[in-house]
Chain A
Protein backbone atom coordinates (compact mmCIF):
# COMPACT_ATOMS: atom_id res chain seq x y z
CA UNK A 1 0.00 0.00 0.00
CA UNK A 2 1.24 3.46 -0.78
CA UNK A 3 1.86 5.94 2.01
CA UNK A 4 -0.86 8.26 0.75
CA UNK A 5 -3.34 5.44 0.82
CA UNK A 6 -2.35 4.35 4.28
CA UNK A 7 -2.74 7.92 5.49
CA UNK A 8 -6.17 8.07 3.95
CA UNK A 9 -7.03 4.80 5.66
CA UNK A 10 -6.15 6.15 9.07
CA UNK A 11 -7.97 9.45 8.58
CA UNK A 12 -11.09 8.25 10.41
CA UNK A 13 -9.09 7.38 13.52
CA UNK A 14 -7.26 10.66 13.18
CA UNK A 15 -10.57 12.52 13.20
CA UNK A 16 -11.71 10.71 16.32
CA UNK A 17 -8.40 11.14 18.09
CA UNK A 18 -9.29 14.40 19.92
CA UNK A 19 -12.54 12.95 21.22
CA UNK A 20 -10.93 9.68 22.18
CA UNK A 21 -8.15 11.50 23.99
CA UNK A 22 -10.60 13.70 25.90
CA UNK A 23 -12.74 10.73 26.86
CA UNK A 24 -9.75 8.52 27.55
CA UNK A 25 -8.30 11.01 30.00
CA UNK A 26 -11.44 12.72 31.26
CA UNK A 27 -13.48 9.59 31.81
CA UNK A 28 -11.24 6.56 32.15
CA UNK A 29 -8.07 8.26 33.34
CA UNK A 30 -9.96 10.22 35.97
CA UNK A 31 -11.92 7.18 37.11
CA UNK A 32 -8.63 5.39 37.64
CA UNK A 33 -7.19 8.40 39.46
CA UNK A 34 -10.17 8.65 41.76
CA UNK A 35 -9.94 4.95 42.48
CA UNK A 36 -6.24 5.24 43.29
CA UNK A 37 -6.92 8.23 45.56
CA UNK A 38 -9.55 6.22 47.40
CA UNK A 39 -6.79 3.83 48.42
CA UNK A 40 -4.70 6.57 50.04
CA UNK A 41 -4.99 8.72 53.11
CA UNK A 42 -5.17 12.01 51.19
CA UNK A 43 -6.85 14.83 53.06
CA UNK A 44 -6.69 18.25 51.46
CA UNK A 45 -4.20 17.34 48.72
CA UNK A 46 -3.51 14.06 46.95
CA UNK A 47 -0.89 11.99 48.71
CA UNK A 48 0.08 8.64 47.36
CA UNK A 49 0.60 6.55 50.44
CA UNK A 50 -1.40 3.40 50.03
CA UNK A 51 -3.51 2.38 52.94
CA UNK A 52 -5.49 -0.37 51.20
CA UNK A 53 -9.23 -0.29 51.66
CA UNK A 54 -9.16 1.68 54.91
CA UNK A 55 -11.19 4.52 53.44
CA UNK A 56 -13.95 2.10 52.45
CA UNK A 57 -14.00 0.75 56.00
CA UNK A 58 -14.25 4.33 57.27
CA UNK A 59 -16.96 5.08 54.73
CA UNK A 60 -19.17 2.20 55.74
CA UNK A 61 -18.85 3.00 59.40
CA UNK A 62 -19.76 6.63 58.78
CA UNK A 63 -23.26 7.52 60.03
CA UNK A 64 -23.64 10.30 57.54
CA UNK A 65 -22.97 7.87 54.68
CA UNK A 66 -25.52 5.46 56.14
CA UNK A 67 -28.12 8.18 56.10
CA UNK A 68 -27.11 9.08 52.55
CA UNK A 69 -27.49 5.48 51.36
CA UNK A 70 -30.75 5.04 53.24
CA UNK A 71 -32.10 8.23 51.61
CA UNK A 72 -30.86 7.06 48.25
CA UNK A 73 -32.89 3.88 48.57
CA UNK A 74 -36.05 5.79 49.52
CA UNK A 75 -35.56 8.55 46.97
CA UNK A 76 -34.28 6.31 44.15
CA UNK A 77 -36.98 3.69 44.67
CA UNK A 78 -39.90 6.11 44.83
CA UNK A 79 -38.50 8.29 42.06
CA UNK A 80 -38.19 5.36 39.68
CA UNK A 81 -41.49 3.69 40.57
CA UNK A 82 -43.61 6.87 40.60
CA UNK A 83 -41.86 8.40 37.60
CA UNK A 84 -42.32 5.25 35.55
CA UNK A 85 -45.95 4.66 36.51
CA UNK A 86 -47.02 8.27 36.02
CA UNK A 87 -45.10 8.54 32.78
CA UNK A 88 -46.65 5.37 31.44
CA UNK A 89 -50.12 6.44 32.54
CA UNK A 90 -49.80 9.81 30.82
CA UNK A 91 -48.39 8.22 27.69
CA UNK A 92 -51.30 5.79 27.47
CA UNK A 93 -53.84 8.55 28.03
CA UNK A 94 -52.21 10.81 25.46
CA UNK A 95 -52.20 7.92 23.02
CA UNK A 96 -56.05 7.76 23.03
CA UNK A 97 -56.35 9.88 19.88
CA UNK A 98 -57.12 12.99 21.89
CA UNK A 99 -57.44 16.56 20.75
CA UNK A 100 -54.66 19.03 21.57
CA UNK A 101 -52.15 16.23 21.94
CA UNK A 102 -49.36 18.67 21.18
CA UNK A 103 -50.46 20.94 24.02
CA UNK A 104 -50.54 18.19 26.63
CA UNK A 105 -47.24 16.78 25.48
CA UNK A 106 -45.62 20.19 25.72
CA UNK A 107 -47.02 20.82 29.18
CA UNK A 108 -45.85 17.47 30.55
CA UNK A 109 -42.44 17.72 29.01
CA UNK A 110 -41.45 21.28 29.84
CA UNK A 111 -40.16 20.65 33.38
CA UNK A 112 -37.35 18.68 31.73
CA UNK A 113 -36.10 21.93 30.23
CA UNK A 114 -35.65 23.48 33.68
CA UNK A 115 -32.54 23.36 35.74
CA UNK A 116 -32.76 21.26 38.89
CA UNK A 117 -31.76 24.40 40.74
CA UNK A 118 -34.78 26.24 39.36
CA UNK A 119 -36.98 23.28 40.21
CA UNK A 120 -35.56 23.19 43.69
CA UNK A 121 -36.07 26.91 44.23
CA UNK A 122 -39.67 26.78 43.00
CA UNK A 123 -40.60 23.80 45.13
CA UNK A 124 -38.85 25.31 48.11
CA UNK A 125 -41.26 28.21 47.74
CA UNK A 126 -44.32 26.02 47.19
CA UNK A 127 -43.51 23.74 50.11
CA UNK A 128 -42.42 26.38 52.59
CA UNK A 129 -44.53 25.96 55.70
CA UNK A 130 -45.63 29.55 56.30
CA UNK A 131 -46.64 30.84 52.87
CA UNK A 132 -46.75 27.81 50.61
CA UNK A 133 -49.17 24.98 50.06
CA UNK A 134 -50.12 24.93 53.73
CA UNK A 135 -51.30 28.50 53.55
CA UNK A 136 -53.16 27.69 50.34
CA UNK A 137 -55.00 24.87 52.08
CA UNK A 138 -55.87 27.17 54.97
CA UNK A 139 -57.22 29.77 52.56
CA UNK A 140 -59.34 27.10 50.91
CA UNK A 141 -60.91 26.32 54.27
CA UNK A 142 -58.82 23.41 55.51
CA UNK A 143 -57.86 25.36 58.61
CA UNK A 144 -56.37 22.36 60.36
CA UNK A 145 -54.27 21.29 57.37
CA UNK A 146 -50.57 20.82 58.05
CA UNK A 147 -48.00 20.43 55.31
CA UNK A 148 -44.54 20.87 56.73
CA UNK A 149 -42.55 18.11 55.06
CA UNK A 150 -39.79 20.48 54.03
CA UNK A 151 -38.82 21.25 57.63
CA UNK A 152 -39.57 17.81 59.05
CA UNK A 153 -36.45 15.60 59.11
CA UNK A 154 -38.64 12.50 58.81
CA UNK A 155 -40.42 13.72 55.71
CA UNK A 156 -38.05 16.11 53.98
CA UNK A 157 -36.68 13.42 51.66
CA UNK A 158 -40.19 12.98 50.22
CA UNK A 159 -40.21 16.60 49.08
CA UNK A 160 -37.17 15.73 46.98
CA UNK A 161 -39.17 12.82 45.55
CA UNK A 162 -42.08 15.12 44.66
CA UNK A 163 -39.93 17.68 42.90
CA UNK A 164 -37.89 14.98 41.16
CA UNK A 165 -40.91 13.08 39.89
CA UNK A 166 -42.50 16.32 38.72
CA UNK A 167 -39.43 16.98 36.62
CA UNK A 168 -38.81 13.52 35.14
CA UNK A 169 -42.34 12.33 34.37
CA UNK A 170 -42.67 14.16 31.07
CA UNK A 171 -39.45 12.67 29.77
CA UNK A 172 -40.59 9.19 30.74
CA UNK A 173 -43.89 9.87 29.01
CA UNK A 174 -42.09 10.89 25.81
CA UNK A 175 -40.11 7.65 25.73
CA UNK A 176 -43.19 5.53 26.38
CA UNK A 177 -45.19 7.47 23.82
CA UNK A 178 -42.53 6.79 21.20
CA UNK A 179 -42.71 3.12 22.20
CA UNK A 180 -46.52 3.07 21.98
CA UNK A 181 -46.43 4.65 18.55
CA UNK A 182 -44.00 1.96 17.50
CA UNK A 183 -46.33 -0.93 18.35
CA UNK A 184 -47.41 -2.66 15.17
CA UNK A 185 -50.99 -1.60 14.49
CA UNK A 186 -51.73 -4.90 12.77
CA UNK A 187 -51.11 -6.69 16.05
CA UNK A 188 -53.68 -4.39 17.67
CA UNK A 189 -56.17 -5.12 14.91
CA UNK A 190 -55.55 -8.82 15.34
CA UNK A 191 -56.17 -8.47 19.09
CA UNK A 192 -59.47 -6.73 18.42
CA UNK A 193 -60.53 -9.41 15.99
CA UNK A 194 -59.61 -11.96 18.63
CA UNK A 195 -62.01 -10.15 20.99
CA UNK A 196 -59.49 -8.79 23.51
CA UNK A 197 -60.81 -5.99 25.73
CA UNK A 198 -58.86 -2.72 25.79
CA UNK A 199 -57.60 -3.56 29.28
CA UNK A 200 -56.39 -6.99 28.16
CA UNK A 201 -54.89 -5.49 25.02
CA UNK A 202 -52.79 -3.18 27.16
CA UNK A 203 -51.76 -5.66 29.83
CA UNK A 204 -51.14 -8.59 27.54
CA UNK A 205 -49.92 -7.07 24.30
CA UNK A 206 -48.93 -3.43 24.40
CA UNK A 207 -47.13 -3.14 27.73
CA UNK A 208 -45.07 -6.28 27.12
CA UNK A 209 -44.15 -4.81 23.74
CA UNK A 210 -42.80 -1.74 25.58
CA UNK A 211 -40.06 -3.77 27.25
CA UNK A 212 -37.22 -1.91 25.52
CA UNK A 213 -38.80 1.41 26.51
CA UNK A 214 -39.03 0.22 30.12
CA UNK A 215 -35.35 -0.66 30.01
CA UNK A 216 -34.42 2.77 28.70
CA UNK A 217 -36.66 4.53 31.23
CA UNK A 218 -35.36 2.62 34.23
CA UNK A 219 -31.73 3.06 33.24
CA UNK A 220 -32.18 6.78 32.65
CA UNK A 221 -34.08 7.24 35.93
CA UNK A 222 -31.67 5.15 37.96
CA UNK A 223 -28.82 7.10 36.52
CA UNK A 224 -30.49 10.46 37.22
CA UNK A 225 -31.36 9.41 40.76
CA UNK A 226 -27.80 8.48 41.65
CA UNK A 227 -26.44 11.65 40.07
CA UNK A 228 -29.02 13.89 41.80
CA UNK A 229 -27.17 16.68 43.47
CA UNK A 230 -28.45 20.06 42.34
CA UNK A 231 -32.05 19.32 43.27
CA UNK A 232 -31.25 18.46 46.87
CA UNK A 233 -28.87 21.38 47.26
CA UNK A 234 -31.43 23.85 45.93
CA UNK A 235 -34.43 22.36 47.71
CA UNK A 236 -33.19 21.30 51.15
CA UNK A 237 -29.39 21.78 51.17
CA UNK A 238 -29.31 18.26 52.56
CA UNK A 239 -31.29 19.31 55.60
CA UNK A 240 -32.99 19.83 57.92
CA UNK A 241 -29.74 18.82 59.57
CA UNK A 242 -28.43 16.01 57.44
CA UNK A 243 -31.80 14.36 56.94
CA UNK A 244 -31.76 14.62 53.14
CA UNK A 245 -28.10 13.80 52.62
CA UNK A 246 -27.54 11.75 49.47
CA UNK A 247 -24.35 10.04 48.29
CA UNK A 248 -23.78 12.89 45.83
CA UNK A 249 -24.00 15.58 48.49
CA UNK A 250 -21.96 13.45 50.87
CA UNK A 251 -19.21 13.11 48.28
CA UNK A 252 -19.11 16.82 47.55
CA UNK A 253 -19.10 18.08 51.10
CA UNK A 254 -16.66 15.42 52.28
CA UNK A 255 -14.20 16.24 49.52
CA UNK A 256 -14.44 19.99 49.16
CA UNK A 257 -15.80 21.29 52.45
CA UNK A 258 -14.34 18.80 54.90
CA UNK A 259 -11.06 18.24 53.04
CA UNK A 260 -11.33 14.49 53.33
CA UNK A 261 -10.34 13.77 49.76
CA UNK A 262 -9.72 10.06 50.01
CA UNK A 263 -13.01 9.41 51.78
CA UNK A 264 -14.82 11.48 49.14
CA UNK A 265 -13.07 9.48 46.44
CA UNK A 266 -14.13 6.19 47.98
CA UNK A 267 -17.76 7.34 48.10
CA UNK A 268 -17.52 8.34 44.43
CA UNK A 269 -16.16 4.90 43.57
CA UNK A 270 -19.10 3.25 45.31
CA UNK A 271 -21.48 5.51 43.36
CA UNK A 272 -19.80 4.60 40.09
CA UNK A 273 -19.99 0.91 40.87
CA UNK A 274 -23.69 1.19 41.60
CA UNK A 275 -24.28 2.89 38.27
CA UNK A 276 -22.07 0.42 36.44
CA UNK A 277 -24.03 -2.48 37.88
CA UNK A 278 -27.14 -1.05 36.23
CA UNK A 279 -25.66 0.30 33.04
CA UNK A 280 -23.10 -2.23 31.83
CA UNK A 281 -25.58 -5.08 31.35
CA UNK A 282 -27.89 -2.62 29.61
CA UNK A 283 -25.17 -1.33 27.28
CA UNK A 284 -24.04 -4.85 26.56
CA UNK A 285 -27.55 -5.84 25.49
CA UNK A 286 -28.09 -2.70 23.43
CA UNK A 287 -24.83 -3.03 21.54
CA UNK A 288 -25.32 -6.74 21.00
CA UNK A 289 -28.71 -6.06 19.42
CA UNK A 290 -27.11 -3.43 17.26
CA UNK A 291 -24.58 -5.68 15.60
CA UNK A 292 -25.56 -5.93 11.99
Chain B
Protein backbone atom coordinates (compact mmCIF):
# COMPACT_ATOMS: atom_id res chain seq x y z
CA UNK B 1 0.00 0.00 0.00
CA UNK B 2 1.26 3.41 -0.87
CA UNK B 3 1.16 6.28 1.54
CA UNK B 4 -1.60 8.03 -0.30
CA UNK B 5 -3.73 4.91 -0.10
CA UNK B 6 -3.21 4.62 3.62
CA UNK B 7 -4.25 8.23 4.12
CA UNK B 8 -7.47 7.86 2.12
CA UNK B 9 -8.23 4.58 3.90
CA UNK B 10 -7.90 6.37 7.24
CA UNK B 11 -10.11 9.19 6.04
CA UNK B 12 -12.68 6.68 4.84
CA UNK B 13 -12.65 4.95 8.21
CA UNK B 14 -13.10 8.24 10.00
CA UNK B 15 -15.95 9.22 7.68
CA UNK B 16 -17.64 5.87 8.24
CA UNK B 17 -17.31 6.30 11.98
CA UNK B 18 -18.78 9.78 12.01
CA UNK B 19 -21.60 8.66 9.74
CA UNK B 20 -22.29 5.85 12.19
CA UNK B 21 -22.35 8.29 15.09
CA UNK B 22 -24.74 10.48 13.13
CA UNK B 23 -27.02 7.51 12.54
CA UNK B 24 -27.05 6.55 16.22
CA UNK B 25 -27.80 10.14 17.19
CA UNK B 26 -30.71 10.12 14.74
CA UNK B 27 -32.11 6.93 16.21
CA UNK B 28 -31.87 8.33 19.73
CA UNK B 29 -33.70 11.45 18.63
CA UNK B 30 -36.46 9.44 16.96
CA UNK B 31 -37.07 7.28 20.02
CA UNK B 32 -36.80 10.24 22.40
CA UNK B 33 -39.53 12.09 20.53
CA UNK B 34 -41.74 9.02 20.28
CA UNK B 35 -41.36 8.17 23.96
CA UNK B 36 -41.96 11.78 25.02
CA UNK B 37 -45.24 11.88 23.13
CA UNK B 38 -46.21 8.43 24.34
CA UNK B 39 -45.90 9.68 27.93
CA UNK B 40 -47.87 12.78 27.03
CA UNK B 41 -50.62 10.67 25.51
CA UNK B 42 -50.76 8.18 28.35
CA UNK B 43 -50.56 10.65 31.24
CA UNK B 44 -54.24 11.68 31.28
CA UNK B 45 -55.56 8.13 31.41
CA UNK B 46 -52.85 7.17 33.89
CA UNK B 47 -53.85 9.93 36.24
CA UNK B 48 -57.53 9.11 35.72
CA UNK B 49 -56.91 5.59 36.89
CA UNK B 50 -54.70 6.57 39.84
CA UNK B 51 -57.06 9.25 41.03
CA UNK B 52 -60.03 6.92 40.89
CA UNK B 53 -58.22 4.60 43.31
CA UNK B 54 -57.40 7.33 45.84
CA UNK B 55 -59.37 8.79 48.71
CA UNK B 56 -60.17 12.50 48.79
CA UNK B 57 -57.70 13.39 51.58
CA UNK B 58 -54.97 11.62 49.67
CA UNK B 59 -55.84 13.55 46.51
CA UNK B 60 -55.61 16.80 48.41
CA UNK B 61 -52.19 15.92 49.81
CA UNK B 62 -50.52 14.32 46.84
CA UNK B 63 -50.35 15.30 43.20
CA UNK B 64 -51.60 14.07 39.83
CA UNK B 65 -49.02 11.35 39.37
CA UNK B 66 -48.46 10.27 42.97
CA UNK B 67 -49.23 6.59 43.46
CA UNK B 68 -52.15 5.80 45.78
CA UNK B 69 -51.03 4.55 49.22
CA UNK B 70 -54.15 2.50 49.89
CA UNK B 71 -55.69 1.77 46.52
CA UNK B 72 -59.42 1.30 46.93
CA UNK B 73 -62.31 0.72 44.59
CA UNK B 74 -64.63 2.51 46.92
CA UNK B 75 -65.13 5.40 44.49
CA UNK B 76 -66.12 2.97 41.75
CA UNK B 77 -68.66 1.32 43.99
CA UNK B 78 -70.09 4.67 44.95
CA UNK B 79 -70.59 5.98 41.41
CA UNK B 80 -71.87 2.60 40.26
CA UNK B 81 -74.78 2.38 42.63
CA UNK B 82 -75.10 5.38 44.95
CA UNK B 83 -73.89 8.57 43.39
CA UNK B 84 -76.42 11.31 42.76
CA UNK B 85 -77.05 12.35 39.20
CA UNK B 86 -79.10 15.52 39.37
CA UNK B 87 -81.75 14.41 41.85
CA UNK B 88 -81.64 10.63 41.53
CA UNK B 89 -79.13 8.84 43.70
CA UNK B 90 -78.93 5.39 42.13
CA UNK B 91 -75.51 5.63 40.54
CA UNK B 92 -74.57 4.98 36.93
CA UNK B 93 -75.67 1.38 36.57
CA UNK B 94 -78.97 2.24 34.92
CA UNK B 95 -77.23 4.51 32.49
CA UNK B 96 -74.69 1.85 31.55
CA UNK B 97 -77.60 -0.41 30.68
CA UNK B 98 -79.24 2.44 28.73
CA UNK B 99 -76.10 2.92 26.69
CA UNK B 100 -75.97 -0.77 25.79
CA UNK B 101 -79.68 -0.82 24.94
CA UNK B 102 -79.04 2.11 22.66
CA UNK B 103 -75.76 1.10 21.08
CA UNK B 104 -76.48 -2.53 20.19
CA UNK B 105 -79.59 -2.10 18.03
CA UNK B 106 -78.29 1.15 16.56
CA UNK B 107 -75.03 -0.49 15.48
CA UNK B 108 -76.72 -3.59 14.08
CA UNK B 109 -79.27 -1.65 12.06
CA UNK B 110 -76.97 1.04 10.74
CA UNK B 111 -74.24 -1.42 9.77
CA UNK B 112 -76.70 -3.78 8.02
CA UNK B 113 -78.31 -0.98 6.05
CA UNK B 114 -74.91 0.49 5.21
CA UNK B 115 -73.71 -2.86 3.89
CA UNK B 116 -76.75 -3.17 1.63
CA UNK B 117 -76.36 0.38 0.39
CA UNK B 118 -72.70 -0.19 -0.39
CA UNK B 119 -73.59 -3.38 -2.25
CA UNK B 120 -76.24 -1.70 -4.37
CA UNK B 121 -74.12 1.36 -5.07
CA UNK B 122 -71.15 -0.64 -6.33
CA UNK B 123 -72.52 -3.85 -7.78
CA UNK B 124 -75.96 -2.93 -9.08
CA UNK B 125 -75.08 0.34 -10.57
CA UNK B 126 -77.91 2.41 -11.87
CA UNK B 127 -78.39 5.88 -13.26
CA UNK B 128 -77.20 8.66 -10.95
CA UNK B 129 -75.65 6.19 -8.49
CA UNK B 130 -72.72 8.50 -7.92
CA UNK B 131 -75.04 11.42 -7.29
CA UNK B 132 -77.02 9.37 -4.78
CA UNK B 133 -73.80 8.37 -3.07
CA UNK B 134 -72.81 12.05 -2.85
CA UNK B 135 -76.20 12.89 -1.37
CA UNK B 136 -75.79 10.18 1.26
CA UNK B 137 -72.17 11.08 1.95
CA UNK B 138 -72.96 14.72 2.64
CA UNK B 139 -74.97 13.52 5.61
CA UNK B 140 -71.77 12.49 7.35
CA UNK B 141 -70.52 16.06 7.39
CA UNK B 142 -73.46 18.07 8.60
CA UNK B 143 -73.14 19.69 12.01
CA UNK B 144 -75.92 17.99 13.92
CA UNK B 145 -77.13 21.29 15.32
CA UNK B 146 -78.90 21.76 11.99
CA UNK B 147 -81.24 18.82 12.65
CA UNK B 148 -81.73 19.12 16.41
CA UNK B 149 -84.89 21.22 16.36
CA UNK B 150 -86.91 19.30 13.73
CA UNK B 151 -85.73 16.00 15.19
CA UNK B 152 -86.92 16.99 18.65
CA UNK B 153 -90.40 17.75 17.33
CA UNK B 154 -90.46 14.68 15.08
CA UNK B 155 -89.56 12.35 17.94
CA UNK B 156 -92.38 13.96 19.89
CA UNK B 157 -94.82 13.28 17.06
CA UNK B 158 -93.66 9.66 16.88
CA UNK B 159 -94.11 9.35 20.65
CA UNK B 160 -90.43 8.55 20.94
CA UNK B 161 -89.41 11.70 22.79
CA UNK B 162 -87.10 10.99 25.69
CA UNK B 163 -87.00 7.27 24.92
CA UNK B 164 -84.09 5.00 24.13
CA UNK B 165 -85.84 3.78 20.95
CA UNK B 166 -85.91 7.36 19.77
CA UNK B 167 -82.20 7.62 20.34
CA UNK B 168 -81.65 4.39 18.39
CA UNK B 169 -83.56 5.86 15.46
CA UNK B 170 -81.51 9.06 15.56
CA UNK B 171 -78.23 7.17 15.61
CA UNK B 172 -79.32 4.94 12.73
CA UNK B 173 -80.24 7.95 10.58
CA UNK B 174 -76.98 9.79 11.15
CA UNK B 175 -74.82 6.67 11.13
CA UNK B 176 -75.99 5.55 7.71
CA UNK B 177 -73.76 7.97 5.85
CA UNK B 178 -70.66 6.54 7.49
CA UNK B 179 -71.54 2.89 7.18
CA UNK B 180 -72.56 3.35 3.55
CA UNK B 181 -69.27 5.10 2.87
CA UNK B 182 -67.25 2.30 4.47
CA UNK B 183 -68.98 -0.51 2.61
CA UNK B 184 -69.16 1.31 -0.66
CA UNK B 185 -65.42 1.98 -0.65
CA UNK B 186 -64.71 -1.61 0.29
CA UNK B 187 -67.00 -3.24 -2.24
CA UNK B 188 -65.58 -1.05 -5.01
CA UNK B 189 -62.36 -3.05 -4.63
CA UNK B 190 -64.14 -6.38 -5.16
CA UNK B 191 -63.87 -7.28 -8.87
CA UNK B 192 -67.14 -7.01 -10.77
CA UNK B 193 -66.30 -10.29 -12.52
CA UNK B 194 -67.09 -12.14 -9.30
CA UNK B 195 -70.58 -10.70 -9.30
CA UNK B 196 -71.01 -11.61 -12.97
CA UNK B 197 -69.77 -15.12 -12.31
CA UNK B 198 -72.34 -15.47 -9.54
CA UNK B 199 -75.02 -14.24 -11.92
CA UNK B 200 -74.02 -16.81 -14.53
CA UNK B 201 -73.99 -19.44 -11.80
CA UNK B 202 -77.57 -18.56 -11.03
CA UNK B 203 -77.22 -16.60 -7.79
CA UNK B 204 -79.66 -13.73 -7.40
CA UNK B 205 -79.41 -10.39 -5.60
CA UNK B 206 -79.64 -11.71 -2.06
CA UNK B 207 -77.72 -14.93 -2.64
CA UNK B 208 -74.81 -13.04 -4.17
CA UNK B 209 -74.71 -10.70 -1.21
CA UNK B 210 -75.07 -13.36 1.41
CA UNK B 211 -72.88 -16.11 -0.01
CA UNK B 212 -70.26 -14.24 -2.03
CA UNK B 213 -69.76 -10.74 -0.62
CA UNK B 214 -70.59 -11.01 3.05
CA UNK B 215 -68.05 -13.76 3.82
CA UNK B 216 -65.21 -11.57 2.53
CA UNK B 217 -66.44 -8.40 4.23
CA UNK B 218 -65.18 -9.05 7.75
CA UNK B 219 -62.46 -6.40 7.65
CA UNK B 220 -64.92 -3.67 6.76
CA UNK B 221 -67.64 -5.00 9.04
CA UNK B 222 -65.13 -4.66 11.86
CA UNK B 223 -64.37 -1.09 10.85
CA UNK B 224 -68.03 -0.16 10.59
CA UNK B 225 -68.98 -1.82 13.87
CA UNK B 226 -66.09 -0.28 15.79
CA UNK B 227 -66.73 3.13 14.28
CA UNK B 228 -70.43 3.02 15.02
CA UNK B 229 -69.97 1.52 18.46
CA UNK B 230 -67.51 4.16 19.62
CA UNK B 231 -69.40 6.96 17.91
CA UNK B 232 -72.77 6.05 19.39
CA UNK B 233 -71.45 5.07 22.80
CA UNK B 234 -69.54 8.33 23.02
CA UNK B 235 -72.33 10.54 21.72
CA UNK B 236 -73.40 13.29 24.03
CA UNK B 237 -75.32 15.79 21.93
CA UNK B 238 -78.22 13.55 20.90
CA UNK B 239 -78.34 11.98 24.33
CA UNK B 240 -78.63 15.28 26.11
CA UNK B 241 -81.05 16.73 23.58
CA UNK B 242 -83.45 13.82 23.21
CA UNK B 243 -83.49 11.97 26.53
CA UNK B 244 -84.04 12.91 30.10
CA UNK B 245 -84.09 11.41 33.56
CA UNK B 246 -83.88 7.64 33.67
CA UNK B 247 -83.30 7.14 29.97
CA UNK B 248 -80.10 9.13 29.74
CA UNK B 249 -77.13 7.35 28.21
CA UNK B 250 -73.93 7.09 30.17
CA UNK B 251 -72.10 10.08 28.70
CA UNK B 252 -74.91 12.43 29.67
CA UNK B 253 -75.13 10.92 33.15
CA UNK B 254 -71.36 11.26 33.55
CA UNK B 255 -71.51 14.93 32.72
CA UNK B 256 -74.39 15.45 35.11
CA UNK B 257 -72.67 13.50 37.84
CA UNK B 258 -69.53 15.59 37.51
CA UNK B 259 -71.62 18.72 37.65
CA UNK B 260 -73.74 17.60 40.59
CA UNK B 261 -71.39 18.90 43.21
CA UNK B 262 -72.25 19.29 46.81
CA UNK B 263 -69.41 20.73 48.82
CA UNK B 264 -65.91 19.85 47.59
CA UNK B 265 -65.51 18.23 44.22
CA UNK B 266 -64.99 14.47 44.62
CA UNK B 267 -62.37 14.01 41.93
CA UNK B 268 -61.91 10.34 42.75
CA UNK B 269 -65.59 9.77 41.98
CA UNK B 270 -65.40 11.88 38.82
CA UNK B 271 -62.48 9.81 37.60
CA UNK B 272 -64.13 6.52 38.52
CA UNK B 273 -67.23 7.56 36.59
CA UNK B 274 -65.14 8.69 33.64
CA UNK B 275 -63.41 5.31 33.64
CA UNK B 276 -66.68 3.43 33.63
CA UNK B 277 -67.73 5.46 30.60
CA UNK B 278 -64.35 4.95 28.90
CA UNK B 279 -63.84 1.24 29.50
CA UNK B 280 -66.17 -0.26 26.86
CA UNK B 281 -64.71 1.76 24.00
CA UNK B 282 -61.17 1.31 25.29
CA UNK B 283 -61.68 -2.44 25.47
CA UNK B 284 -63.05 -2.48 21.93
CA UNK B 285 -60.14 -0.36 20.81
CA UNK B 286 -57.43 -2.39 22.51
CA UNK B 287 -58.76 -5.74 21.33
CA UNK B 288 -60.07 -4.79 17.92
CA UNK B 289 -58.20 -1.56 17.20
CA UNK B 290 -55.72 -3.22 14.90
CA UNK B 291 -58.54 -4.46 12.69
CA UNK B 292 -59.84 -0.95 12.61
CA UNK B 293 -56.55 0.57 11.50
CA UNK B 294 -55.97 -2.24 9.02
CA UNK B 295 -59.45 -1.89 7.60
CA UNK B 296 -59.14 1.87 7.39
CA UNK B 297 -55.85 1.57 5.59
CA UNK B 298 -57.33 -1.05 3.26
CA UNK B 299 -59.58 1.34 1.55
CA UNK B 300 -61.86 3.56 3.49
CA UNK B 301 -59.37 6.41 3.65
CA UNK B 302 -58.09 7.57 0.34
CA UNK B 303 -54.68 9.17 0.29
Contact = CB atoms under 8 A, between A and B. Distances in A.
A174 B296 contact: yes
B233 interface: yes
B303 A175 contact: yes
A94 B293 CA distance: 15
A93 B33 CA distance: 8
Given A117-B236, A117-B251, A122-B274, A212 B48 contact: no
A128 B282 CA distance: 25
> Which of A16, A102, A286: most chain B CB closer than 10 A?
A16
A230 B241 contact: no
Nearest to A284: B134
B44 interface: yes
Contacts of B65: 136
B34 interface: yes
A18 interface: yes
A12 B124 contact: yes
Contacts, number: 288
A269 interface: yes
B159 to A, nearest CB: 17
B117 interface: yes
Contact of B42 (A89, A107, A223): A107
B63 A34 contact: no
A37 interface: yes
Interface in B242-298: 251-252, 254-255, 258-259, 265, 267, 270-271, 273-274, 277-278, 281-282, 284-286, 289-290, 293, 296-297
Given A23-B135, A93-B34, A110-B285, A226 B143 contact: yes
Nearest to A226: B143
B64 interface: yes
A114 B281 contact: yes
Interface stretch (B83-91, B149-157, B215-223): B149-157
Given A27-B138, A230-B236, A234-B258, A115 B277 contact: yes
A113 B230 contact: yes
Contacts of B176: 19, 22-23
Q: At the interface, is chain B mostly helix, strand, loop or mixed?
A: helix
Q: Which of B135, B136, B141 has the most CB of A within 10 A?
A: B141
Contacts of B30: 93, 96, 98
Contact of B205 (A11, A211, A229): A11
Given A23-B135, A107-B41, A268-B146, A125 B236 contact: no
Contacts of A28: 135
The 7 A-B pairs of least Cβ separation, nearest first, read A212-B303, A115-B234, A113-B285, A230-B236, A26-B173, A12-B124, A30-B150
Interface of A: 8, 11-13, 15-16, 18-20, 22-23, 26-31, 33-34, 37, 46, 86, 89-90, 93-94, 96, 98, 102-126, 128, 131-133, 135-136, 139, 166, 169-170, 174-175, 178-179, 181-182, 210-216, 219, 223, 226-227, 229-230, 233-234, 237, 247-248, 251-252, 255-256, 261, 264-265, 267-269, 271-272, 275-276, 279-280, 283, 286-287, 289-291
Given A107-B42, A123-B44, A283-B141, 14 more contacts: A23-B135, A27-B138, A109-B285, A115-B278, A124-B258, A169-B41, A212-B302, A213-B303, A216-B303, A230-B236, A256-B241, A268-B149, A272-B143, A279-B141
22 contacts: A12-B126, A12-B205, A15-B119, A27-B173, A89-B33, A104-B34, A108-B38, A109-B293, A112-B230, A114-B281, A115-B277, A117-B234, A117-B254, A121-B271, A121-B274, A126-B43, A174-B297, A178-B296, A212-B303, A267-B145, A268-B143, A268-B146
